[in-house]
Amino acid sequence: MSIQRYNLSKRHDDLMQLAKKGIRENIAMALKEDLGGQINVNNDITANLLPKDKNAYAHIITHETGIFCGKDWVEAIFDQLNQSVNLVWHIKDGQKMIPEQLLVEIEGSARTIVTSERTILNFIQLLSGVSTKVNYYVALLNNTNAKLLDTRKTLPGLRTALKYAVICGGGNNHRIGLSDAFLIKENHIIAIGSIQKAVKSASLAFPDYPIEVEVETIEELIQAINAGVDIVMLDNFNLKLISEAVKINKGRVILEVSGNINESLITNIARTGIDYISVGDITKNIRAIDISMRLKLK
């Protein structure tokens, strides 16, 4: 069956490579935003009030429980600002944080450290917020076979960073963008003529790419299964219809549920026997984790 084209492990590996490549761009964009369009610490007019040759020590702590994420982004900030700044880490991505825990110690140019503060906190507060929320949702799926997926509902420019944070929280990635997998939706089907025609066209165009079809009815589910797709996304199905879809499918294709899923529904959905549950909320509605930096002059 074509279902072998869909592989979460490969998707994870692809995302990791893209995230690593994207870190420098993420940081450059953020630093230029703060420093008048150039990556130059001298453009921080407030930091210039400090003596140029003064060194400082700083530490970053968390004030609440969560899952940490963002180490490589912090290191990339100093790679671009001042490589002589030293970092001593006390946590790894994906590890649990507890209130008042020391995350990292920083030593070097006082000017560089104060210039970097907000960029550092923006990234690790956001990414840790995603990882923490994902971890909470994953816990709701305990004792079921369902896996949590993210979506493309991400902040522009931070797609791979947020999807990396999903992995750190114990979740999995849906397609990274529009170029790595097919997701044939209602408007595609209307324009092409039928589910069968759309799937056939996709198979001929890119035979090694996974094909997913979004369906809104049981009848469309049956059409998609018969067309030989890899995955069927059940869009806004209620619990009764999800259970019926699982019985009809009999494991022939991967079944995914999407649409208006929240923490009060997700456990019952998982218990239907569904394979994947995609939730936009985990990368779209994020509360930053309370993390702060404190500095001491040397």
Three-state secondary structure string covering the chain: CHHHHCCHHHHHHHHHHHHHHHHHHHHHHHHHHHCCCCCCHHHCCCHHHCCCCCEEEEEEEECCCEECCCHHHHHHHHHHHCCCCEEEECCCCCCEECCCCEEEEEEEEHHHHHHHHHHHHHHHHHHHHHHHHHHHHHHHCCCCCCEEECCCCCCCCCHHHHHHHHHHCCCECCCCCCCCCEEECHHHHHHHCCHHHHHHHHHHHCCCCCEEEEECCHHHHHHHHHHCCCEEEEECCCHHHHHHHHHHHCCCCEEEEECCCCCCCHHHHHCCCCCEEECCHHHHCCCCCCEEEEEEEC
Q: Which of 20, 54, 118, 247 is flagged as catalytic?
A: 118
In CATH, which superfamily holds the domain spanning 8-137+286-297?
Quinolinate phosphoribosyl transferase, N-terminal domain (3.90.1170.20)
pLDDT value of position 6: 66
Q: Is 107 a catalytic residue?
A: no
Q: Is the dihedral of CA 231, 169, 269, 147 positive or negative?
A: positive
Q: Is 214 a catalytic residue?
A: yes
Which of 173, 145, 169, 171 is CA-nearest to residue 159?
A: 173
Q: Is 247 a catalytic residue?
A: no
pTM for this entry: 0.93
pLDDT value of position 12: 80
Residue ranges of the domains in the chain? 8-137+286-297, 142-284
CA 166/CA 150 separation, integer angstroms? 7
Q: Is 153 a catalytic residue?
A: yes
> CB atoms < 10 A from the CB of 53, how many?
8
Q: Which residue has the tokens 């979460």?
A: 8
Q: How does pLDDT run along the chain (298 residues), one tens digit per residue? A: 344 466 777 778 888 888 888 999 999 999 999 999 999 999 999 999 999 999 999 999 999 999 999 999 999 999 999 889 999 999 999 999 999 999 999 999 999 999 999 999 999 999 999 999 999 999 999 999 999 999 999 999 999 999 999 999 999 999 888 988 999 999 999 999 999 999 999 999 998 899 999 999 999 999 999 999 999 999 989 999 999 999 999 999 999 999 889 888 999 999 999 999 999 999 999 999 999 999 987 6
pLDDT value of position 162: 96
8 A C-beta contact, residue 119 and residue 31: yes
Q: Which of 185, 252, 271, 284 is flagged as catalytic?
A: 185
pLDDT value of position 4: 46
Contacts of range 44-48, beta carbons closer than 8 Å, 24 or more positions apart? 44/111, 44/114, 44/115, 46/114, 47/110, 47/111, 47/112, 47/114, 47/115, 48/111
CA 54/CA 56 separation, integer angstroms? 7
pLDDT value of position 2: 43
pLDDT value of position 191: 94
Measured N-to-C along each axis, helices 110-140 and 71-81 cross at an angle, to the nearest 10 degrees, of 160
Q: Which of 44, 93, 212, 214 is flagged as catalytic?
A: 214
Q: Is 235 a catalytic residue?
A: yes
How many residues are present in the chain?
Answer: 298
In CATH, which superfamily holds the domain spanning 142-284?
Aldolase class I (3.20.20.70)
Q: Which of 32, 153, 252, 284 is flagged as catalytic?
A: 153
Q: Which of 235, 252, 271, 290 is flagged as catalytic?
A: 235
pLDDT value of position 242: 97
